[in-house]
């Protein structure tokens, strides 16, 4: 009799062990399946955006160049119009002289399947910063953010028509001041006008018939940012959380 009871007990013990093992295997497989599903989304969220890598790389390549750091110099008045036409988004020549940086010039760059523009600025000590501009794709992250890549600091953001990346080996506070100035000027500076080649020829013919100069357009100076009205500044209340390290930049919280 006791042999039968022992056998029954052994069956129950083995069943419990087998059931526990199966349950553990099922839980492990479920966890691994969830991890595999979440891994691509997590990696995509953590991976830097490709255009930011290109902005940093372009700065590293051209900023150290002693002679050929720009393709078109700032003195050439067609710089903004040329870049605007090529990247199909407005390129404005920002005034950073209040922060000690003069516009040196710019160049056209490849940007994945499209094109981008790089504006270069230099201070009296020879330090250079670049502004990378491109036409953003739909769904591009629009947050105003800061990123550090080695010795390079970078503020980047996306507006309705343009993606911006300010890159330089400067303290974060100095880059932030420059980024704020660019952000404000983008809303106040007039966009460069695009001249259709046929229209330009017609204008040249009209100038010639009127006795005016041909091919000598008026210079387009760098326009200083317009001062914002005090009432408008007071009306825009910060949306950042109080007591948080976030900073307000024209209605956006710096993350």
For residue 92, is it within any domain? yes
In a domain, 145, yes or no: yes
Give percent of the chain with pLDDT exceeding 70. Answer: 56
Q: How confident is the model at residue 89 (pLDDT cuts 50, 70, 90)?
A: very high
User: Which domain range does residue 162 map to?
Assistant: 50-190
> Which carries the bigger pLDDT value, residue 127 or residue 224?
127
134-169 confidence digits (pLDDT tens): 999 887 888 899 999 999 999 999 988 899 999 999
- Cα angle for residues 58, 59, 63 (degrees, 5° grid): 120
pLDDT of 27 > 90? The answer is: no
pLDDT at residue 127, as a whole number: 97
Confidence category of residue 189, pLDDT binned at 50, 70, 90: confident
Contact status, residue 196 vs residue 163, Cβ threshold 8 Å: no
Is 24 within a domain?
no
- Indicate whether 230 belongs to any domain: no
Q: Give buried/exposed letters for 44-83 (b at 16+ CB in 10 A, else e).
A: eeeeebebbebbbebbbebbeeeeebbbeebeeeebbbbb
Would you state the pLDDT for residue 69?
Answer: 96
CA distances from 108 to 33, 74, 133, 163 (A): 45, 14, 10, 15
User: If you average pLDDT over residues 231-247, what whole number do you get?
Assistant: 50
- The answer to the question of residue 252 being in a domain is no
pLDDT of 231 strictly over 80: no
Number of domains in the chain: 1
What pTM, to 2 d.p., does this model score?
Answer: 0.63
Name the band, by pLDDT with cuts 50, 70 and 90, for residue 219.
Answer: very low
CA distance 163 to 173: 21
The answer to the question of residue 22 being in a domain is no
pLDDT at 214: 35
What CATH number is given to the structural domain containing 122?
A: 3.30.200.100
Give domain status of residue 5, yes or no.
no
Q: Does 213 fall in a domain? A: no
Q: What angle do CA 33, 49, 110 make, to 5 degrees?
A: 135
**48 CB contacts (<8 Å, ≥6 apart)?**
147
Q: What is the pLDDT of residue 87?
A: 96
């Amino acid at each position: 009799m006791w042999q039968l009871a022992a056998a029954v007990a052994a069956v129950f013990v083995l069943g419990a062990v087998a059931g526990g093992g199966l349950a553990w295997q099922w839980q492990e497989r479920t966890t691994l399946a969830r991890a595999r599903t979440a891994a691509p989304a997590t990696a995509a969220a953590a991976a830097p955006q490709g255009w930011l890598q290109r902005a940093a790389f372009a700065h590293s390549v051209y900023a150290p160049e002693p002679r050929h750091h720009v393709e078109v110099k700032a003195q050439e008045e067609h710089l903004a119009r040329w870049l605007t036409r090529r990247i199909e988004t407005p390129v404005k020549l920002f005034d950073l002289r209040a922060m000690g940086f003069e516009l040196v010039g710019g160049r056209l760059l490849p940007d994945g399947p499209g094109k981008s523009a790089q504006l270069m600025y230099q201070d009296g000590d020879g330090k250079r910063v670049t502004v990378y501009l491109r036409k953003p794709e739909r769904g591009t992250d629009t947050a105003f953010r800061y990123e550090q890549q080695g010795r390079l600091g970078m503020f980047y953001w996306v507006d309705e028509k343009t993606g911006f990346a300010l890159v330089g080996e400067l303290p974060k506070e100095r880059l932030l001041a420059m980024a704020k100035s660019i952000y404000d000027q983008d809303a106040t500076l007039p966009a460069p006008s695009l001249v259709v080649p046929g229209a330009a020829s017609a204008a040249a013919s009209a100038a010639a018939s009127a006795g005016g100069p041909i091919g000598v357009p008026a210079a387009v100076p760098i326009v200083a940012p317009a001062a914002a009205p005090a009432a408008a500044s007071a009306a825009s209340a910060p949306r950042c959380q109080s007591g948080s390290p976030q900073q307000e930049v024209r209605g956006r919280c710096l993350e």
